[in-house]
Amino acid sequence: MSSPQPAFGAMFRELIELGVVEINTESLDAAVERRLKEFWENTSCPRCGHQSVVTWESTDRIWCRDCNFKPVFTYGTPFHEKHLPAGEVLLAFTLYADTLLSINQIAPFLGRAYRTVHAAIRDVEAAVHRGFPVVWSLLDQTIDGPAQVDESGKVCSGYKGQEPPRNSRSRGGSSQTGRSRWRGRHGDQLTLVAACRDSLRVISGQLGIDYSGDLEPVIQEAEDLSQPLGEVWTDGLQAYRQMGFDHRTVVHKERYVSPEGVHINQAECLFSLVQPWLRKFRGLSKQGLEQAAHTFGIVRSLNLADESTESIVDCLVIGAFRNST
């Protein structure tokens, strides 16, 4: 019995191989080059620290007039030395972050090796995380209303690719194959916690599944991104009652909307979207789960704010420059 197709469907893969589906990223290449050069002209040289960098439309090189440093315009960014055009890197990340396609599915679509696409996406993802707070603060929008907070039942053992392996029943495993067969102890698991306020979506992780720890980091991040925070609406979980925010509660054992109109429908809706998105990975470590979920929150926020792909480029570029300067 043959193994199932890892990408799209067999017929669509055949169309790709026949050349019917053609990827042209020239417009994305040009957009990335334009934004990178704009940032170079407004930042300091990574070698000498002087703000004397100039660029030209006709060349890939930039030039520091003070120390004569002449790198390519992608220097210090996730686009540098990736064996992929900048547009393909951006397309790969967009397909990863904004669709139900996995990296295993994206790689053959681009006609690239899995490792090449995986490395590019991970570098872009890290830069987007760093740059998003700056870009979000610069968007012309008003974040209003209460912050709704909820926790999901999504747990992860955290031992994928780590020691000890999860290959025995003595560690809580089973005879079934698959990456998610090991459930682990409570302290080895991670639960996702989300805060939703207007168009903003923030997803964080909480170690364990007993919710006895600190559930405030996700709320603090939401406050940092949408000051002032205003009210926080949660369910009746005991851990939320210990928070120092202006807090109102709906008890789900009694009702889903309190007589005062308090509910957490936005957060529950977010989990209904993020959980099928996470299934495409077929298992993630703690770090990988939280990182991927955080990415989903960033892209979902930009989509709800009616922002274009250029906002992702800005997040990426700002994140890259914040890391290197």
pTM of the model: 0.83
Any idea of the CA torsion for 124, 126, 130, 133, to the nearest 10 degrees?
A: 80
Rg of the chain over CA atoms, in angstroms? 22
- Ordered structural domains, the chain, with CATH: 10-139+315-324 (no CATH), 147-306 (3.30.420)
Whether the CB-CB separation of 285 and 158 falls below 8 Å is answered with yes
Q: How many other CB atoms are found less than 10 A from the CB of residue 113?
A: 12
The pair of three-digit structure tokens given for residue 144, joined into one six-digit string:
């209003």
How confident is the prediction along the chain (325 residues), in pLDDT tens digits per residue?
344 444 566 777 777 778 787 888 999 999 899 999 999 998 889 899 898 899 999 899 999 999 999 999 999 899 998 889 999 999 999 999 999 988 988 998 888 999 999 999 999 999 999 999 999 999 988 888 899 988 886 566 554 444 444 444 444 444 445 444 444 554 556 788 899 999 999 998 777 665 555 667 888 899 999 888 888 888 877 667 667 777 887 776 677 788 888 888 899 899 999 988 988 887 777 778 888 999 999 999 999 999 988 899 999 989 987 665 5
What is residue 61's DSSP assignment?
A: B
In Å, the largest CA–CA distance within the chain is 70
Q: How far apart are CA 15 and CA 7, in angstroms?
A: 12
Whether the CB-CB separation of 196 and 147 falls below 8 Å is answered with yes
